[in-house]
Structure formats: structure tokens, C-alpha cells
Chain A
Amino acid sequence: KQEVTQIPAALSVPEGENLVLNCSFTDSAIYNLQWFRQDPGKGLTSLLLIQSSQREQTSGRLNASLDKSSGRSTLYIAASQPGDSATYLCAANRDDKIIFGKGTRLHILP
């Protein structure tokens, strides 16, 4: 059974800092790994999708890496801004379903 864990559960950092969010999964037989952002009371917005054959994906200030053999993914946010405050969720996609971690609640201090 696939289990996805995100550490830390919550994180507060001053504006401008670079930060890393961690995601681990127990079953390495995944098709891809997807990172989402969720603002309070809102739905999920897809940030980055890393296919199983890829090592990383970049979008603007965001960079996600994937190491299937160790069952880990990281989301790197450069030069953090108050608008980055949200909950970040990683999800492991295995064929017909997607399994989520519980998320990291990020607060960027102005």
C-alpha cells in the first residue's frame, strides 16, 4: 500500500529565504509525482508534475526533484514571497489512483 509522508507539517520562514519541502513515498513503482498548492478554503492547483523517467522539473521560482530509488521528492522554492503562503501537497500517481501526503503548511513572514 502506497504511503506518502510530508515533512515538516508546518514551516514559517522570513520573506526572501530559499526553502525546501520534503515528500517521501513507500512504493517506488509510480508513474509520476505531482506537487499541488492549496490556499485556505480553496481547491488544489497543480504546480509541477515529474514523470517517473525525469529527475526534476522547474517552473519559475519552483523546482521539484524526484528520486524514485530512494522514494523521495523535494520542492524547492527560491526567494520566498508572502504570496507563497499556502499548503503544499505532494501526490504519488500509480496507474489508476493518486495518493496524497498530508501537506506542509507554509507561512512566509513579511
Chain B
Amino acid sequence: DIVMTQTPLSLSVTPGQPASISCKSSQSLLHSDGRTYLYWYLQKPGQSPQLLIYEVSSRFSGVPDRFSGSGSGTDFTLKISRVEAEDFGVYYCMQGIHLPYTFGQGTKLEIK
């Protein structure tokens, strides 16, 4: 199984400041079709996970442009340019190339 490793596991940020989360996969997520199947989700307390970024860097419908994704192969990063109150929760990366699909452990973004 592909192991997804997120760092850090927790992050304390002052609103208005940037934040960055790393996700590393144990195998390349680049498919033979040329696409890289790496996704980012945010789970707010008491809610289901919600898609933020798909295929490394494409923002899902309605996701603010302060969120950006980058990376390739096995190393990926989610960046928030200026954290807002609504951004706090747990962030997960997920690989969708090899079964079983696997998630990172989650990174808890907290208010400083």
C-alpha cells in the first residue's frame, strides 16, 4: 500500500499569516495518463471532509484562491497564503492512483 506522510501533524497559525503543509507518498503518484492523483481535503469539526484541491494543483469549485497546491512525483505541498478563521480544521492529503486509496494522518490547523 502507498503510505502518505503529512508534516507537520499540527500547526498553530495567527489569522492573516501563511501556512504550509507537506505530504509525501511512498510511491510516485504520476499515472501513465500524465495526471498525478493527489488530493487535499479539509475536515471542519463535526463535518465531513471537503475537497479543496485535486490533481495536485487544481482548486475545486468555490475554493478560495488563497489555497494552492504544488508538487510532483512523491512530494506535495498545500499552501494557504493568508489563513482565515474558516480555514481551521484538519487537512488530509490522499492518493487516488493505486488501490487501496490511502490518506495522510491529517494536519490539525489551529488558531494561535
Are A and B co-members of a single complex?
Answer: no
